[in-house]
Structure 1
Amino acid sequence: MPDFTIETTYHLPVFRHRTYAAATLEAACRAAVEDDNWDLAEKDYDSSGEVHITCVWEGAHSAYTGPSVQVPSQFDEAVQRRARHFEILLGLLKIFFDDAHAAQPPSLDWLARSAWEIARGEAILGNAPDPDKPVEPPKANHVLARLQEEQVRNAIAAVLEVDDNFRALSPTAVTDDDIHTACLTIATTMDVSGCFRQCRIPGSACGDPRSASSAPD
């Protein structure tokens, strides 16, 4: 069987106790961080980090001389693995937040990437290897109607101008809570069966919502 030279590593915390005089706690902490005098340092063996693999070479006794091979992801240091993944997930969250703010659906490419990163995150939490196959992205959503509360406020003034029934009501009298309650009422009581009856698949007429087509979100 083949030989591998493996470099294993663990981090050993070093600490010190020193007193700092400062105007604020933040200033004292900053002084402690910037202090480069470690003459009184002690090692904290009880808090040493996990053993992880930092490098692998093919062959016996071949450290830094033989060809190196990629370390299997599950043997990376877990805290670093999570930190790198956090940056990726934060980037994806920003993309989806911008899409939501612009009221536009995310692209299928980003959905597929997110599905893979979710599977990767679960693998990291389970100390398992990264998934090596594309993960099936979630199916597209189809929205028959969208009611956005932030758009209701903009429409209130126009409605009050043309509807005599609300002439005595001013736009400022309608609170955000009123809008939220009204939107919830509409969302829970609206009859969308007529929308299903109007849906058509090319080449056929269908009133069955299970076979209806609609514009993708």
Structure 2
Amino acid sequence: MPRYTIETTYRLPIYRQQTYQAPTLEEACALALDDEDWTGGKEDHETSGATYVTGIWKGETDGSGPSLAIPEQFDEALARKADLFDDLVEVLKEPARVMGLSRDQFAHWLPRALTVLGRADNIVHDATRATPGADAGGGIAESGQ
């Protein structure tokens, strides 16, 4: 049976509370973002992010060899959402361009739209254990929505 070295990560928020004097709320926010002094910053273990895979290698390794592609469902949720955004926009723009899709155009568009929407649904519901090829559309095809 093959062995894999898997590197996982989670994001740990570190926060600080500082008071800034500024003429507007926006300027106070800008001052806070520009402030690089994190002395007294506190780790927020209560709201740490979910664990996700950041590296995969075949066999036992220190991570210095060639890495394997990370299956999408094990990547960081925020990165998955960002990657998916462009796909969603492109697929959803198609019927907006030409609302009078022919039957052939609709038959080509619908499976692609359902696939992309299924990916989005998995990300929204954090389906890190989704079975590849399973109905990821959340019943979209059956409901006709």
Fold match, TM over 0.5?
yes
Separation in 2, partners of 1:55, 1:39: 32
Listed as ranges, the gaps of 5+ residues in structure 1 are 139-217
C-alpha offsets along residues 139-184 of structure 1, whole Å, 9 cap, x if unaligned?
Answer: xxxxxxxxxxxxxxxxxxxxxxxxxxxxxxxxxxxxxxxxxxxxxx
Partner of 2:85: 86
Separation in 2, partners of 1:26, 1:96: 39
Where relative contact order (Cα < 8 A, 6+ residues apart) is larger, the structure is 2
Aligned pair count? Answer: 130
**Is contact 2:11-2:50 (8 Å) kept?**
yes
Separation in 1, partners of 2:91, 2:36: 38
Partner of 1:120: 119
Q: CA deviation at 1:53?
A: 0.7
Separation in 1, partners of 2:19, 2:69: 45
Tell me which moved more, 48-57 or 119-128. Answer: 119-128
Identity percentage of aligned residues: 37
Separation in 1, partners of 2:9, 2:47: 14
One-letter amino acid matched to 1:98? R
User: CA 1:99–1:27 in 2, change beyond 3 Å: closer, same or farther?
Assistant: farther
Separation in 1, partners of 2:16, 2:75: 29
Q: CA deviation at 1:129?
A: 5.0
Separation in 2, partners of 1:21, 1:68: 49
Matched, 1:60 2:30: no
User: CA 1:22–1:91 in 2, change beyond 3 Å: closer, same or farther?
Assistant: farther
Partner of 1:41: 41
Matched, 1:75 2:71: no
Listed as ranges, the gaps of 5+ residues in structure 2 are none
Partner of 2:96: 97
User: CA 1:91–1:36 in 2, change beyond 3 Å: closer, same or farther?
Assistant: farther
- Deviating beyond 4 angstroms after TM superposition, the runs of 4 or more aligned structure 1 residues are none
**Structure exhibiting the larger radius of gyration computed from Cα positions:** 1
Partner of 1:20: 20
Separation in 2, partners of 1:99, 1:84: 25
Task: State the TM-score, normalizing by the size of structure 1.
Answer: 0.52
Look up the SS of the partner of 1:69 in the other structure.
coil
One-letter amino acid matched to 1:90? V
